[in-house]
Structure 1
Amino acid sequence: MCGVHLLVNSTGKGGEYIQAMMEACMHRGPDHSSWMEVAQGVYLAANRLKTLDLRDQANQPLVNEEEEAYLSWNGFLYNYQELKNELLVDGVLFESTSDGEVLLRWLIQKGREGVKRLQGMYAFAFVHKKKNQIILGRDPLGVKSLYFTEQKEGFACSSEIRCLLRTDLVPKKLHQEQFSPYFYLRHVLPGATFIRGIQELLPGELKTWNLKGECLDIRKIPLENPAPKPALTEDGFEEIMMDAVLKHIHADVPIGLILSGGADSTLLYQLWYRQTGRVLPTFTIGFQDAYRKKFKDADFASKLVASQRSFHQEVIISPDWFLETWPAYIRDLDHPVGDSASYLTWALARKAKDSVKILVSGAGADELFGGYNRHLAYKKYLHHPVFWNGVAANSNRIPFVGKSFQRFLSGIHPSPQRTFMNFASLSDLPDSLANTLESRYTPGEQPFKNALKWDRTVYLVHDLLKIHDNACMAHGIEGRVPFLDWQVVDWSLSLGEMETRNAAPKFWIKSLLKREGLTGFARRKKFGFGLPIKEWLLDHAGFRNRVLSSVLDLGIQYPEIVPEEWSLLVQRPERYIASHFLLLFNLCVLADWIKENQL
Structure 2
Amino acid sequence: MCGINIILGNHSKAEQLAEQMMRATAHRGPDFSSYTKVSEGVYFAANRLKILDLTDASNQPLWNKEKDAVLAWNGALYNYQDLRNELLDLGYHFQTNSDSEVLLYWLRHYGKKGIKQLKGMFSIAFADLREKNVLILRDPSGEKPLYFSNSEKSWFFSSEARPLTLCQSKKIDKRQFLPYFYQRHSFPDSSFYEGVGQVLAGTGFLFDFEGKILDKFSWAHPKQPSLSPTQNSFEELLKDAVLKNFHTERRVGTILSGGADSSLIYALWYEETGEPIPTFTVTFDEKKKAKYADPTFSKKLGRKYPSLGKEVFVDLEKTQKFWPDYISSLDQPVADSASFLTWVTAKEASNDVQVLLSGAGADELFGGYNRHRAYAHYLKNPVLWKFLKKTGIEIILPSNLQKMVASIEPNEAETFIQMSALQHIPTDSLPQFVHWYPRGSSPLKNALEWDRSFYLINDILKIHDNACMAHGVEGRAPYLDFELITMSQHLSEEQHHQLLGKVWIKEALKKRGLGYIAKRKKLGFGLPLQEWSKESAYLDWVTPTIQKMEATWGDHFPEEMRTLAKKPNSAKGRQYLQVWNLFVLASWIEQQSL
- TM-score, normalising length: structure 2: 0.98
Instruction: Please list the CA deviations of residues 185-225 of structure 1 after superposition, one character each: whole Å capped at 9, or x if unmatched.
Output: 10011110011111110000011111111222100022116
Correspondent of 1:424 among 392, 407, 420? 420
Counterpart position of 1:221: 219
Q: 2:203 aligns with which of 194, 205, 221?
A: 205
Q: 1:67 to 1:444 in 2, by over 3 A?
A: closer
Pick from 362, 373, 378: which aligns with 2:375?
378
Q: How far apart are the structure 2 equivalents of 1:114 and 1:561?
A: 45
**Where does residue 520 of structure 1 map in the other structure?**
516
**SS at 1:560 equivalent:** helix
The alignment's C-alpha RMSD in Å is 1.4
Q: Deviations over 1:383-442 (max 9, x none)?
A: 11101100011125x663222211111100111110000001101222333212223222
Amino acid aligned to 2:369: Y
1:188 and 2:186 aligned: yes
Give matches, 1:455-474, under 5 Å: 455-474=451-470
**Alpha carbons 1:349, 1:472 under 8 Å: kept:** yes
Aligned AA for 2:466?
N
1:596 aligns with 2:591: yes
- Residue 440 in structure 1 maps to residue 418 in structure 2: no
Alignment of 1:546 onto 2:541? yes
- Identify which of 343, 346, 353 aligns with 2:350: 353
User: Structure 1 segments of 4 or more deviating over 3 A?
Assistant: 9-12, 306-309
Q: Is the 2:53–2:249 Cα contact (8 Å) retained in structure 1? A: yes
The code of the aligned residue for 1:584 comes to: V
Q: Does 1:585 align with 2:583?
A: no
CA distance in 2, matches of 1:307, 1:439: 47
State percent identity of aligned pairs.
43
Structure 1 residue 579: Cα displacement: 3.8
Is the partner of 1:558 in helix, strand or coil? helix
The whole-number CA distance in structure 2 between the counterparts of 1:449 and 1:9 is 42
Q: TM-score normalised to the size of structure 1? A: 0.97
> Residue type of the partner of 1:82?
D
CA distance in 2, matches of 1:112, 1:433: 38
Task: Please point out which of 260, 266, 270 is paired with 1:269.
Answer: 266
State yes or no: 1:134 paired with 2:150.
no
**Matches for 1:228-307 after TM superposition, within 5 Å:** 229-307=226-304
Alignment of 1:569 with 2:564, yes or no, is: yes
Rounded to whole Å, the distance in 2 between the matches of 1:146 and 1:79 is 22
Q: Structure 1 residues 445 and 13, CA, compared in 2 at 3 Å: closer, same or farther?
A: closer
- 1:210-262 Cα distance to aligned partner (Å, 9 max, x none): 11112221000221167x62232221111111111111111000000000000
Structure 1: distance between partners of 2:207 and 2:424: 40
Deviates most, 69-78 or 128-137: 128-137
After superposition, what is the alpha-carbon deviation per residue over 1:437-484, rounded to whole angstroms, capped at 9, x for unaligned? Answer: 223222343111110011010000000000000000000000010000
2:149/2:197 contact within 8 Å kept:
yes
Give the residue type in structure 2 aligned to 1:79: N
Matches within 5 A, 1:476-515: 476-515=472-511
The aligned residue for residue 559 of structure 1 is: 554
Deviation at 1:577, TM superposition (A): 5.1
**Mapping of 1:63-78 within 5 angstroms?**
63-78=63-78
| DSSP-derived class of the 2:533 partner | helix
- 1:163 is the counterpart of 2:163: yes
- 1:348-399 CA distance string (max 9 Å, x none): 0000000100000000000011000100110111111101100011125x66
**1:467-516, CA deviations, whole angstroms, 9 ceiling, x for partnerless residues?**
00000000000001000001111112222111211334000000111111
Shift of 1:125: 1.0
CA drift of 1:93 comes to 0.9
Whether 1:312 aligns to 2:306 is no
Contact 2:133 2:208 in 1 (8 A): yes
Verify the 8 A CA contact 2:78 2:244 in the aligned structure 1. Answer: yes
> Residue 5 of structure 1: SS of its match in structure 2?
strand
Output the CA distance in 1 between the equivalents of 2:574 and 2:523: 18
Question: Which amino acid is 1:462 matched to?
Answer: N
- Hey, what does 2:115 align to over in structure 1? 115
Q: For 1:76, what is the secondary structure of its paired residue?
A: strand
Report SS of the residue matched to 2:396.
Answer: coil
The question of whether the paired residues in 2 share the 8 Å contact of 1:225 and 1:486 is answered with no
The CA distance in 1 between the partners of 2:117 and 2:439, in whole Å, is: 28
Per the alignment, in what secondary structure is the counterpart of residue 223 of structure 1?
coil
1:83 paired residue number: 83
Q: Which moved more, 1:98-107 or 1:496-505?
A: 496-505
Provide the aligned length of Structure 1 versus Structure 2.
594
**Cα distance in 1 for residues equivalent to 2:307 and 2:403:** 43
In 1: Cα distance, 2:229 partner to 2:152 partner? 53
